[in-house]
Amino acid sequence: MSTATGTAFSVPALTVLSEEEELFRASVREFAEGEVRPRVEAMEHAAKLDPDLIKQCFELGLMSIESPEEYGGAGSTIFNAIVAIEELARVDASISVFVDVHNTLVTNAFMRWANDDQKKKYMPQLAEGRVGAYALSEAGSGSDAFALKTRAVDKGDHFELTGQKLWITNGNEAEIFIVFATIDPEAGYKGITAFIVEKQFEGFSVGKKEDKLGIRASSTTELILDNCKVPKENVLGEVGKGYKVSIETLNEGRIGIGAQMLGIAQGAFEAALKYTAEREQFGQSIGSFQGVQFQLAEMAVEIEATRLLVYNAARLKDAGKSFLKEAAIAKLYSSRCAEHVSSKAIELFGGYGYVKDYPVEKFWRDSKIGAIYEGTSNMQLQTIAKLITK
């Protein structure tokens, strides 16, 4: 699957897609419809991604969209990454977040913070077949992200990491982890350091897999670090600068979550549109009633507004402009849109919407996480308020 590098669009053309971007969208949609959709029900029941689908994501280049060509990637844009995330979520949010985290958090962190040796070693692996995961959260550090208990102790030629991470997306599939730990609890956020940890490192193990409401095929696990030995050369960025790595990476990651929520809303809307055209009551399709048409119109307006917000944030990032506020707005609004549109879709399906034989209840369950991970809605509001009042 090819992607286009293209050039950054100016602000007035934020919503215009180039021919290459349209072709890329079409190719991702073809994959989502042909390969992902037939597996969705089985993956949902198994609460596990199909290994063959994971392999295809690498083969098609979906796991290295922004990664430079010299490391085996497409050398493309975050805009193409969010288009891929959106199109996958339109069919299945679990495979969407799998691709999202690998691209917008892990690969992005390596691109921004890894030194040349680390890039040469790990980025080809991330492009070719080894899944990445991002390990920041702990039991006592969610929104208060830097209240970390995981400790890193300098042992001369290596660090030893001890602690527990929770809510780690891709935990079961990943082989390369970006793990955050503190080298000095007394230093507060200035003690936070990012480490590159491989699954086979001594003292590292994957713990419990969470049994979740939604995105059930996506693995969400705990990580256990028991005097995990990490070479000195595996510090990502600088010692004590892990807070910068996490903040700046998550800023981009929120655009990806916005795209995932957009895809969920679009998928739920399309299902409702099709159903209301087919379902008959009182001798005519329910879609012919003005009350239903108005509800569909409201859903379409919310989705289009979400698309503009998400695309705007991505275009700004690609153009090298400030996008922090726009990313926070996009994530906040998109999570609300996905939850509302999918909920309304259930109502339009009536009793059928409440059973698992039809797709809309899954869209609704999958939507709820959007208000929680990679920064809760309250944290997005705090960010927006800070930036508009400073």
Q: Are residues 54 and 173 in the same domain?
A: no
pLDDT of 390 reads: 81
- The model's confidence at residue 32, banded by pLDDT at 50, 70 and 90, is very high
Q: What is the CATH number of the domain that holds 258?
A: 1.20.140.10
Is 304 a known active-site residue?
no
pLDDT of 14 reads: 52
Mean pLDDT on 155-184: 97
Task: State the DSSP string of 198-238.
Answer: ETTSTTEEEEEEP--SS-TTS-EEEEEEEEEEEEGGGEES-
Examine residue 103 and state whether it is found in any structural domain, yes or no.
Answer: yes
C-beta of residue 189 within 8 angstroms of C-beta of residue 146: yes
Q: Assess whether pLDDT exceeds 90 at residue 375.
A: yes
Q: Which residue has the higher pLDDT, 15 or 81?
A: 81
Q: Are residues 325 and 273 in the same domain?
A: yes
Among 80, 100, 130, the domain boundary falls at 130
Q: Are residues 254 and 293 in the same domain?
A: yes
Examine residue 298 and state whether it is found in any structural domain, yes or no.
Answer: yes
Examine residue 6 and state whether it is found in any structural domain, yes or no.
Answer: no
Which of 87, 138, 302, 374 is an active site residue? Answer: 374
Q: Are residues 256 and 382 in the same domain?
A: yes
Q: How much is the mean pLDDT over the chain?
A: 95
Q: Assess whether pLDDT exceeds 80 at residue 358.
A: yes
Examine residue 278 and state whether it is found in any structural domain, yes or no.
Answer: yes
The values of phi and psi at residue 162, to 5°, are: -135, 125
Separation of alpha carbons 52 and 66, rounded Å: 23
Q: What is the CATH number of the domain that holds 82?
A: 1.10.540.10
Mean pLDDT on 79-88: 98
Q: Assess whether pLDDT exceeds 90 at residue 13.
A: no
Examine residue 5 and state whether it is found in any structural domain, yes or no.
Answer: no
C-beta of residue 97 within 8 angstroms of C-beta of residue 215: yes
Q: Is 299 exposed, middle or buried (0-12, 13-18, 19+ CB in 10 A)?
A: buried
Q: Are residues 36 and 124 in the same domain?
A: yes
Among 130, 150, 174, the domain boundary falls at 130
Q: Are residues 210 and 169 in the same domain?
A: yes
Among 240, 259, 294, the domain boundary falls at 240
Per residue in 93-134, pLDDT (tens digit) is: 999 999 999 999 999 999 999 999 999 999 999 999 999 999
pLDDT of 15 reads: 62
pLDDT of 143 reads: 87
Q: Are residues 209 and 228 in the same domain?
A: yes
Q: Are residues 103 and 154 in the same domain?
A: no
Size (the chain), residues: 390
Q: Are residues 171 and 232 in the same domain?
A: yes
Examine residue 85 and state whether it is found in any structural domain, yes or no.
Answer: yes
- The model's confidence at residue 16, banded by pLDDT at 50, 70 and 90, is confident
Q: Assess whether pLDDT exceeds 70 at residue 12.
A: no
Total tally of structural domains belonging to the chain: 3
pLDDT of 100 reads: 98
Per residue in 287-317, pLDDT (tens digit) is: 999 999 999 999 999 999 999 999 999 999 9
Separation of alpha carbons 93 and 43, rounded Å: 11
Q: Are residues 342 and 255 in the same domain?
A: yes
Mean pLDDT on 9-19: 60
Examine residue 3 and state whether it is found in any structural domain, yes or no.
Answer: no
Q: Are residues 248 and 349 in the same domain?
A: yes
Q: Which domain holds residue 15?
A: 11-130
Q: Are residues 260 and 367 in the same domain?
A: yes
The model's pTM = 0.95
